[in-house]
Amino acid sequence: MEFDDAQIEDLDAIIALRRRAFEKITPSHYSPAEVENLLNDYDRAQFSKMIRDRRLFCYKKGTKLYGTAGWEGSAIRHVYVDPDQFGVGIGSNLIEHTILDFKKRTGCERMTAGVIIYARGFYEKSGFNVVAKKKAWDGSEFYEMSRPLK
Ligand SMILES: CC(C)(COP(=O)(O)OP(=O)(O)OC[C@H]1O[C@@H](n2cnc3c(N)ncnc32)[C@H](O)[C@@H]1OP(=O)(O)O)[C@@H](O)C(=O)NCCC(=O)NCCS
């Protein structure tokens, strides 16, 4: 699988992909109010900065976007896959691509992740361990997870 640096022209498609991915899985794990908060809790300027810094990656076939992942600080961020393509390895390969870039550019030996309830098993398969279960500002639960990179 090959990945591209996300471009500023991809931003609307990335935000639409985020919404599709969360709409698919969050209603079975969160209350309607929490789902609404999750769907709206993003910062366009923060995405733009990650793109400008070449820290956000995407998987495309032709011009269509099927997945994204990136990093900020020590955290992996914005791991989203098109629901029509769940389970074919896009998410895990995006994680490995992102971690390689993070390690090469920072030299850090640990990567963290804030993980919604649904995705815990996915991150565990990618080598992350649960550090703590936490509550977001609206009371919704998520896992703080971490993976050693040696
Ligand atoms: C979580 C997500 C990124 C997984 O992407 P994906 O491309 O379907 O994952 P992969 O196909 O690479 O799966 C890798 C492995 O994890 C497993 N897996 C995937 N999702 C899982 C889940 N929710 N729970 C447990 N295991 C899961 C797969 O079965 C696969 O296992 P295998 O290696 O034994 O075959 C995707 O479901 C998604 O976009 N979800 C909505 C957004 C989201 O939750 N993002 C994370 C934010 S914290």
Report how far apart, in Å, the C-alpha atoms of 119 and of each of 45, 123, 125, 134 are. 25, 6, 10, 14
> How far apart (Å, rounded) are the C-alpha atoms in residues 149 and 132?
19
Residue with token string 């971490």: 146
Would 122 be classed as within a structural domain? no
- pLDDT tens for each residue of 61-81: 998 999 999 999 999 999 999
What is the residue type of 97? H
Q: Distance from the CA of 8 to the center of ligand 1, in angstroms?
A: 26
The CATH number of whichever domain residue 92 belongs to comes to 3.40.630.30
- Which uninterrupted H or E stretch holds 67? strand 64-72
Would 138 be classed as within a structural domain? no
- pLDDT tens for each residue of 100-131: 999 999 999 999 999 999 999 999 999 999 99
Give the structural domain span for 77.
4-111
Atom of ligand 1 nearest to the CA of 78: 47
Would 143 be classed as within a structural domain? no
User: Does ligand 1 lie within 6 Å of residue 139's CB atom?
Assistant: no
**Number of domains forming the structure of the chain:** 1
Residues 6+ apart with CB under 8 A from 16: none
